[in-house]
Each structure stands twice: as C-alpha cells, then as structure tokens.
Amino acid sequence: MSEPSPTQHPTAQHPTAQQPVTGVIHDIGYRRYTGPRDGDARIAFSLYVTALKHAYGLGRSGRSKVLPFLLLGLTLLPAVIMVGVVAMFGFDEQVRTYAAYTNTVQVLVSIFAASQAPTIFSRDLRSRSIVLYLARPLSARTSALVRWAALATACLIFILAPQLVLYVGGLLSRLDAGDETLSFLKALPLDLLLAAMLASITGLIASMALRRGFAVVGSILAVLVVSTALSAVQAIAAEFDSPRTGEISGLFSPWALVNGLASVMDAGVEVITPPQGAVMVSAYVLAALLMAALPVLALVARFRKAGR
C-alpha cells in the first residue's frame, strides 16, 4: 500500500515554524458526496419495496421464507384443486365465486396478516433502531404510511393470488369469459377493502405488542375470533327473528363487513344476516372505511412518539 500523502484537515490551523505540529488527519480518499440525491418519494418507494419483500421473507433468511410461502401454498392449494375439478368434470361455473373463495380461506388470510405484520412493524420498534430511520430523512408519518401500504399490498397479493389462479383456470376451461370477469371485478373492491382493514388492524397491534407471539395472537383475536363470535351472534339473531341485531353486530368485524357488502353486491357470498336497506349498507361501507383508516392514524401517532 502506498503511503498516502498527509494533507491538512480543512478546519485545522495551518502549522507554521513557530507552532509545533500537534496532529494531522490524513487524506485517505474519503470524499463528500456532492452529486444529486433522491427525494423523499424515492426513499419512500424503496422502503415500500423492502417492506413488501420482507413480508414474504424475500431478502431475509431462508427460515423467514418458510412461513409466508407455506401459507401461500395452503391458500393456493384449494384453488388449484377447484380449477382441476372444473376442468375435469366440465362444470359451467366456478365451484366458488372469487369473493366466496377468499371467505373460505379466511383463516389463512388472517394468519398471514397477523404473522407478517410484526416483520414490518415491530422489529425496529422493538430494537429501538426505528429512531435511526426517523431521525432523517423520512418523516414518522410517511414511514408509518409506507409500511402500512406495504403490508396492505402484501395482504392483497395473498388474497388475489388464488383468485387469479381460479380466473385463469376458469378461462382455460372455457367458462364464460364475461361472467368470470364480472365476478372477478366484483371481488376486486372487496379485496382492496379487506387488505386495507387487515393491514390496519394487524399493523397497529404489531406496533403496540412488540413481542411477536403476542402480536400474532392479539391480531388473531381481533380479526378472527371476534369474527367467529359475531357470526355466532348473527346466527342466533336470525334464529330469534331479530336480523337487525345481526346486521349491527356485523359492523365490528372486518370479515363480517366484507362478506356483508359482498352479499349486497351479489358476489356469491352467503351471509346469515346481510345488511338490509340503504342506511345499513352505507353504514357497512362507512364502518369498513373507518376500520381501515382509524388504526392508520393511531399508527402514525405511534411512530411520531417512537421517533422522539
């Protein structure tokens, strides 16, 4: 290695004959970066992509890939079987509609959201390395929103993947393309809404309960157990001829909301007490939007606090 030539640090006093040299910082080639820098949008985008990949274990260790892909495999399996059944026996329609399929695998979708939310939300909050992100250059608000968007996208991909298999399989089996496309398009806004709600709820819980296990169980409690309990309530309400109670109880669970709206849209989902009347339907829409939006506000507040 060639000896680097000693040069004076810019801020150091230039030594003279009278002044003894007390120290010198060698120029070993470090340079300031003076070129163009990416803006916030670009930084936010790369955080988004990284978080999205991490939700599926991509760019992480092999062990972190096992779980998301196991779940993805499990949710695709019935779709593949259904496509095979349709093709083999020459059915003229899908075994399940797109919206109904998602409802069928709600356990898997919920577990996916619950188990992957902590990878996006709690790891750096727990280790307090979050402060490094928030010191600069992204604001706490943007950072929280971007992570939420990544989780919502991950959930959406998880929901859409088997639907796409069904759709493509259906078209290849020569099902009526117009019917299939219509049914698929009906499911799409519901999928979006569901992904947003799941990301909001599980993301907020993951950012609060930092232990992974507790975050997962807490999310399952909020998403799935509540939904199971509420469908029991709906069943009882229908039995006792008080469907209004069932309709109102549906306002408190993401699955009940999505399924209720699906039945209104005639997307092929059976609901015991579907929302009746314009008021109740708009209440469902409003509740779903609130369920997606309110936790996001709480998330932003959480990140603001953590960044301080």
Partner 1 sequence: MNTTIARLALAALLGRKRFILLLLFPVALIGLSVLVRVLTSDAEVALGILFGLGLLVILPLLALVSATAVMGPEVDDGSLVYLLAKPVSRHSVAFSKYVVALAAVLLLGPLPMLVTGFAIGSGDQDLVLAGSVSATLGAIAYTSLFLALSTVWKHAVVVGLLFVLLWEGTLAAIFSGVAWLSIGQWAARIGATIDADWADDAVPLWWAVGALFVVGIGGVWFSGDRLRSFSLKGDD
Binding site for partner 1 (CB under 8 A): 63, 67, 74, 107-108, 111, 114-115, 209, 211-214, 216-218, 220-221, 224-225, 228-229, 232-233, 236, 239-240, 245
Cβ-based nearer residue to partner 1, 138 or 295? 295
Angle at 106 between CA 101 and CA 108, to 5 degrees: 110
Closer residue to partner 1 in complex, CB, 70/286: 70
In Å, how far are 69, 95, 162, 170, 173 from 89, measured between CA atoms?
Answer: 30, 11, 20, 13, 10
Cβ density class 153-162: b for 16+ within 10 Å, e for less:
bbbbbbbbeb
Query: CA 103 to CA 260: how far, in whole Å?
Result: 11
Residues in Cβ contact with 11 at an 8 Å cutoff, skipping those fewer than 6 apart: none
Closer to partner 1 by CB, 221 or 293: give it.
Answer: 221
Residue 294 is encoded by which pair of tokens? 């309110």
Q: Which residue blocks in 6-139 are alpha helix, DSSP H? A: 40-55, 62-89, 98-104, 106-121, 123-126, 130-135
Quote the distance between the C-alpha of residue 218 and its chain's center: 16
**Least distance in Å: CB of 280 to partner 1?**
19
Cβ-based nearer residue to partner 1, 103 or 163: 103
- Nearer to partner 1 among residue 100 and residue 146 (C-beta): 100
- Smallest distance from the beta carbon of 208 to partner 1, in angstroms? 8
Minimum Å distance from CB 228 to partner 1?
6
CA distances from 66 to 95, 119, 136, 304 (A): 29, 14, 33, 33
Q: Shortest distance, CB of residue 108 to partner 1, whole angstroms? A: 7
Q: How far is the CB of 239 from partner 1 (least distance, A)?
A: 8
Closest CB to partner 1 among 94 and 231?
A: 231
Residue nearer to partner 1 on the CB measure, 114 or 299: 114
- Asked if residues 247 and 238 have their Cβ atoms less than 8 Å apart, the reply is no
Shortest Cβ 140–partner 1 spacing (Å): 22
Of the CA atoms within 13 Å of residue 302, those in its CB half-sphere come to 27
Minimum separation from the CB atom of position 94 to partner 1 (A): 19
- Pair of tokens at residue 35: 């070129």
